[in-house]
Amino acid sequence: MTGYLRKARPVRLALLASALLVVSACTTMSGTHIAVTQTGDNPAPLVVPEGTDPEDVVIGRREHPRIIAAYGGVYSDRPAEIMVARIVGRLLAAANQPNAQFQVTILDSAEVNAFALPGGYIYVTRGILALASDTSELAAVLAHEIAHVTLRHARARTDRTRTTAIVDRVITGVFGGDSSTDQLSNRSRESMAAFGQSQELEADREGIKFAGKAGYDPSAAARFLGVMSRFASFSAGENAGEGFLSSHPSTPARIQKAMDTATTMFGQAGIGEVGREEYLASITGLTFGDSPAQGSIIGRRFVHPASKFTFTVPQGYTLQNSQSAVVGVAGDGEAVRFDSAEVNASMPLADYLKSGWIAGLKGETVSTQSFNGIETASGLAQTDQWFFRVSVMRLDGQVYRFIFAAKSDSARFAAGAEATLKSFRRTTTADLADIRRVAVRIVTAKPGDTSESLARQMAGLNRGTELFYIINDLFPGDPIRVGEKYKVVALH
């Protein structure tokens, strides 16, 4: 996920991170779900959309925990959960599914994303909650996903993943990785499984119909597509091209089509519920950007409070965090990737290092050490274009991995990798005290306030003033209404 408190080097990161895809990643987290019209830990809806194939329920039940793990766990926020539940209840009635129980989960991810699985599973990230500005915009997103399910697009997309076996074999052959967990393989599978343009437009049309029938502003879909388009441009190079922003591209033609559909179905613009004040009240305090629970970047240091470890990268590295890995990039053509892996507790780390997940490993270089009381194994690997220093360590039963990459080896590169490895240790109370959470705060415009003065409240964040305009659907110079509420993002 993108962190707005740190500066990115997007182009170099994209180039160097590609070299680190020779490894697989497997990061697991757990959590409980929220469900619309039901409670408890039942892993699947009791009643699903009419006409649902029993196999769809099996698919949804199987994939649900994987989705939660892949997107950082479940985000628990009672006001937001209640708001989402109310919206979905109204949309289901409008979609002629009053007896259906869609399981709706808020994911603890800054990624702007929403999607559906067969069997009535719908997901929204806190990232998309932070980007929306009123109830009708979130209703447009949820209606779109409900439409994918009722139109059985989600099942069709799942069927398409069965055609990716050839991609898996290619990934394994080229990178020597495990295609079931390799990140490039996963991205290829997601891309091939994405909804087609005709399906997206069909879901747009049905979703606008559902939202309008439920009493929400039908033009909100077009409005929010425009906001997402601006956010995609803002994020370009940092973490763009992921999630909703790539699988739901907000092209001008699509935005216009959504507006035309709303006008054709419901007449003039400006009808229906918008629900701005209620929405903003529900997202007050919402975590923005990286979740501290998933690790925090403090300068060159990474601190994971849940797993209770920390490490520091060498001078000159810039760190970025995502669901699957922490990646650091140096301006002189070096990079480091840190992630975790599921490894049998009985397997020695040296044996795991030699087990084939890293291409080009030189087995004779593998050695074992202990730093800060933590068992470690290290080795060297080389491909045609990259030289790697690879280390794995076991802490509290979990295996973590460092993969340093450079065009060639050097004494300085070796020293930096060793220093990072030696810095890996358990957290202290002081480490945890350094963690700060960035959250959405709602401010009320006072006499004399302008869009520029409100935007300056976010000046401490990387490109914060620019972000202010996007998350409030404003442009520089737009008038501010006294007494109206606006979103700002600040340390909490």
The rounded percent of the chain whose pLDDT value lies above 70 is 76
Q: Is the pTM of this model over 0.75?
A: no
**Segment 24-37, tens digit of pLDDT:** 222 222 233 335 43
Dihedral class, residue 330 (left if φ above 0, else alpha if ψ from -120 to 50, else beta):
beta
Residue 164 predicted with pLDDT over 80: no
d(CA 144, CA 209): 10
Maximal C-alpha separation, the chain: 73
Q: Which pair of structure tokens corresponds to residue 360?
A: 């080009």
In the chain, % helix, strand, coil (3-state, to 5) comes to: 40, 20, 35
- So what's the pLDDT on residue 187? 39
For residues 110 and 291, the answer to whether their CB atoms sit within 8 Å is yes
Rounded to the nearest 5°, which phi and psi values hold at 145?
A: -70, -35
Name the pLDDT band for 157 (thresholds 50, 70, 90). Answer: low
What are the chain's domains?
31-283 (no CATH), 301-424 (3.40.1000.10), 438-491 (3.10.350.10)
Question: What are the tens digits of pLDDT across the range 224-253?
Answer: 999 999 998 888 644 444 444 445 556 888
pLDDT of residue 242: 44
Write the pLDDT tens digit of every residue in 350-386. 999 999 998 899 999 999 999 999 999 999 999 988 9
Distances (CA, A) of 249 to 42, 125, 202, 204, 255: 34, 17, 14, 12, 10
Amino acid sitting at position 369: Q
Find the angle CA(192)-CA(131)-CA(110) to the nearest 5 degrees.
Answer: 60
Q: Using a CB cutoff of 8 Å and minimum separation of 24, what contacts does 364-371 make?
A: 371/421, 371/422, 371/424, 371/425
Instruction: List the one residue out of 131, 1, 229, 235 whose CA is nearest residue 487.
Output: 131
On the 0-12 / 13-18 / 19+ scale of CB atoms within 10 A, 207 is buried
Q: What is the pLDDT of residue 348?
A: 96
Render pLDDT for 296-340 as a digit per residue (tens, 0 to 9).
Answer: 888 899 999 989 999 999 998 988 887 678 998 887 789 999 999
- What is the reported pLDDT for 299? 86
Q: Which residue has the higher pLDDT, 125 or 491?
A: 125
Half-sphere exposure of 365 (CA within 13 A, CB side): 12
What pLDDT was estimated at residue 258?
Answer: 92
- Across residues 120-138, what is the average pLDDT? 94
- Give the model's confidence band at 405: pLDDT under 50 very low, under 70 low, under 90 confident, else very high: very high
Distance, in Å, from the CA atom of 114 to the CA atom of 432, rounded to the nearest integer, reads 32
